[in-house]
Amino acid sequence: MNLLRSLARPNSLSYARSYVVITSNTFLKTFHSTPPIIHPPTEMETINTTERLIQLRRLMKESKVDIYIVPSEDSHQSEYIAQCDARREFICGFSGSAGTAVVTLEKASLATDGRYFNQAEKQLDSNWELLKQGLQDVPTWQEWTADQSEGGKVVGVDPSVITGSDARKLAEKIKKKGGAELKAVKENLVDLVWGKSKPPRPSEKVQVQPVKYSGKKFEEKLEDLRKELEKRKSLGFVVSMLDEIAWLYNLRGNDIPYNPVFFSYAVVTPTAATLYLDESKLSPDVKLHLGDTVTVRPYDAIFDDMNALSSESAQTNGEKTSPKKFLVSTRASWALNQSLGGEDKVDEVRSPIGDSKAIKNEVELKGMRACHIRDGAALIEYFAWLEDQLINKGAKLDEVDGADKLEAIRSKHEHFVGLSFDTISSTGPNTAVIHYKPEKGNCSTIDPKKVYLCDSGAQYHDGTTDTTRTLHFGEPTDMERKAYTLVLKGNMALERVRFPKGTTGFALDTMARQFLWAEGLDYRHGTGHGVGSFLNVHEGPIGIGTRLQYSEVPLSVGNVISDEPGYYEDGNFGIRIENMIMVKEVETKHKFGDKPYLGFEHVTLVPMCRNLIELDLLTPDEKTFLNEYHAEVLEKTQDFFKGDNLTMAWLKRETQPY
């Protein structure tokens, strides 16, 4: 498979990329996308937001609001968004994937988490105050907003980009502080400021995800969902999360960079299934796939239809019977809740589709194993090439050159579709920036005498990958070796743990941090996130970390999750090691409480960096585990390198036993 890429890399928001992928069966597919909002360049020019804020404040006065909230998310609460929905980035200049902007008539603040403190400080101009979330005595954006609302001020927000539950909680905080109200401003004010320069909404074609990859027909998934509706005595489920709709109907799209989803809504009742999307997206194959089972309606018809459904249900329920309600996800927008008649007319639940999607079937698990072997081979070839270029040939390569080479190598492999996120290719101090993306002409040359971190992943028809490796091609410092080894010990400890069924990722987080904690060290990101099957690289509801939602859903057989502890010294170096692991049932000598016990199976197959391991810090059991892992890496990937003496020599060296 060959991948031809555009070489242009302008820094503007309107920048678009196009690829042409030619596979062995001559299938031609063109991807048109814009870069995601995640991962900053090394030094991004700060945007002067003064004029934008002047215009926004004028519109705020016209709309009779004193404070205006601009979240990161789109109408579907997507983590990664299309450029047409990058309103928060447009108004404040900060391009990280997480954060909320709040603008008053006199002040402006941007709240983000520890992954983005460095980036935000560089990108925000003097109009903005940075709220570093998670630090002591720093208010949350909700608290800051409520504080600003004192004295009867009105807070406004586009109801389509905030969830119903978040809107209620915020309204309560505002009321307690003496604010007037939280007002739904239906026309997005940032869109009005953005005007004609706002990118159009993508309209890419939707494609069928065959059962040979999905493992289950969409009709069966609909029946499973209807059984859940019957159990809950519900009128139906309104689906707003894009990856849930793609999974439910065995469809994939290309409306959001790196995420194979498409703009849509869905409504499933006991007797009908309706898909809301622009019909121009549907090919004859997709129409044939959906058949008579699914009714297709225009994307923008969802709110009018929900109003009509709400009215019908009110008449059907009558006054003397216990009223049935529609189910919506806790991630559904405030606007969607309002269209169904408000919180009294809907039940907000953790999505049953999200729960089902997170538990992969045997076909999906088989695909994840297979694509990670191919992906591991690509990374091995890349690391061998990179070391040879830097050490033996003395080549001068920057971080983008490395990322491009890795993508080109990946594109040769079977079932490759594209990247699953923008590659984090970083050297030296840039490795300490947790979410980092280099830009050509504005990045660093890879220094073989410093740490190199590569966090990358790909989308394949049979699965999604996400792997991080940290390397050093010269002489690491004692602290670099120690930090790497402590992170490695945490990575292995999490993978090796056994736990009773019913355990959550919240409970397991300390397994990965324990060795760092013993030295008074830590990291400011989660330890693990769920991963989709040719879907979003970040997938709920499961995860490993200290977020409260990770305490709500136990890990289950079939979950695919990342294991990625790290350590970062700002301005110096960063370490992260990430494997994908799958939950499986394991045998134990005892079964306390007659509960099954679970453990993990790794699917990532890339060697750890021998040059960074401090062997004295590893126990005999850890060395044995690492030797067995490296033996498996060698066995499963070596056939990809027949005739490639350079890569084969590198692989054998990196996997030799301790």
User: What confidence tens digit (pLDDT) does each residue in 631-656 have?
Assistant: 999 999 999 999 999 999 999 999 99
Q: Of 385, 397, 465, 396, nearest to 425 (Cα)?
A: 397
User: What confidence tens digit (pLDDT) does each residue in 113-150 have?
Assistant: 988 898 899 999 999 999 999 999 999 999 999 999 99
Residues comprising the chain, all counted: 658
Contacts of 165-169 spanning 24+ positions with Cβ under 8 A? 165/330, 165/348, 166/334, 167/334, 168/343, 169/142
Q: Of 268, 375, 387, 288, nearest to 328 (Cα)?
A: 268
Mean pLDDT across the stretch 48-70?
A: 98
Specify the CATH number of the domain 362-655.
Answer: 3.90.230.10
DSSP per residue, 10-56: --STT--EEEEEE-TT--EEEEEE---S-S--SSPPPP--HHHHHHH
Which position has the higher pLDDT, 8 or 434?
434
DSSP 392: I
**Any residues with CB less than 8 A from the CB of 83 and at least 6 apart, and which?**
13, 14, 34, 35, 199
Mean pLDDT across the stretch 228-233?
A: 95
pLDDT bin (cut points 50, 70, 90) of residue 203 is: confident
pLDDT bin (cut points 50, 70, 90) of residue 65 is: very high
Backbone angles phi and psi of 54, in degrees to 5: -60, -45
The answer to whether residue 243 scores a pLDDT higher than 80 is yes
User: What confidence tens digit (pLDDT) does each residue in 150-200 have?
Assistant: 999 999 999 999 999 999 999 999 999 999 999 999 999 999 999 999 999
pLDDT of residue 321: 52
| CB hemisphere CA count around 581 (13 angstroms) | 30
| 3-state secondary structure (DSSP) of residue 482 | helix
The full set of domain ranges for the chain reads 2-33, 50-197, 207-351, 362-655
Distance from C-alpha of 586 to C-alpha of 609, rounded to nearest angstrom: 29
- Other beta carbons within 10 angstroms of residue 7's beta carbon come to 6
User: Cα angle at 79 between 329 and 147, to 5 degrees?
Assistant: 80
Pairing of strands 273-276, 295-297: parallel
Torsion of CA 251, 254, 257, 261, to 10 degrees: -30
Mean pLDDT across the stretch 305-319?
A: 73
The answer to whether residue 11 scores a pLDDT higher than 90 is no
The answer to whether residue 346 scores a pLDDT higher than 80 is yes
Distance from C-alpha of 121 to C-alpha of 98, rounded to nearest angstrom: 14
CATH superfamily of 207-351: Creatinase/prolidase N-terminal domain (3.40.350.10)
CA Rg value for the chain: 25
For 632, the token pair is 């498996």
Share of the chain above pLDDT 90, in %: 86
Residue with tokens 């992170």: 487
Distance from C-alpha of 532 to C-alpha of 371, rounded to nearest angstrom: 13
For 350, the token pair is 């953790």
Mean pLDDT across the stretch 231-258?
A: 97
Work out the mean pLDDT of the chain and round it to a whole number. 91
Contacts of 222-229 spanning 24+ positions with Cβ under 8 A? 222/248, 222/268, 222/273, 222/293, 224/356, 225/268, 225/352, 225/353, 225/356, 226/268, 226/270, 228/352, 229/268, 229/269, 229/270, 229/327
Distance from C-alpha of 423 to C-alpha of 74, rounded to nearest angstrom: 23
Cβ atoms of 301 and 292 within 8 Å: the answer is no
Do 50-197 and 207-351 have matching folds? Answer: yes
- Other beta carbons within 10 angstroms of residue 653's beta carbon come to 12
Mean pLDDT across the stretch 65-69?
A: 98
- What are the CA-CA distances from residue 434 to residues 113, 158, 277, 573 (Å)? 11, 30, 36, 10
DSSP 138: P
Mean pLDDT across the stretch 576-585?
A: 98
Distance from C-alpha of 457 to C-alpha of 462, rounded to nearest angstrom: 14
Cβ atoms of 256 and 295 within 8 Å: the answer is no
User: What confidence tens digit (pLDDT) does each residue in 396-415 have?
Assistant: 999 999 999 999 999 999 99
| 3-state secondary structure (DSSP) of residue 195 | helix
75 burial via Cβ count (<10 Å: 0-12, 13-18, 19+):
buried
- What are the CA-CA distances from residue 81 to residues 110, 111, 400, 410, 414 (Å)? 18, 18, 23, 24, 27
Global pTM reads 0.90
Task: Calculate the CA 305 to chain-centre distance.
Answer: 30
- Other beta carbons within 10 angstroms of residue 539's beta carbon come to 24
Lowest mean pLDDT among 63-77, 280-294, 305-319, 359-373: 305-319
Cβ atoms of 267 and 296 within 8 Å: the answer is no
- The topology under which CATH files domain 50-197 is Creatine Amidinohydrolase; Chain A, domain 1 (3.40.350)
Q: Of 490, 409, 523, 491, nearest to 456 (Cα)?
A: 409
Mean pLDDT across the stretch 42-61?
A: 88
pLDDT of residue 315: 62
User: What confidence tens digit (pLDDT) does each residue in 551-571 have?
Assistant: 999 999 999 999 999 999 999
Which amino acid, 514? Q
Distance from C-alpha of 381 to C-alpha of 359, rounded to nearest angstrom: 32
The answer to whether residue 34 scores a pLDDT higher than 80 is no
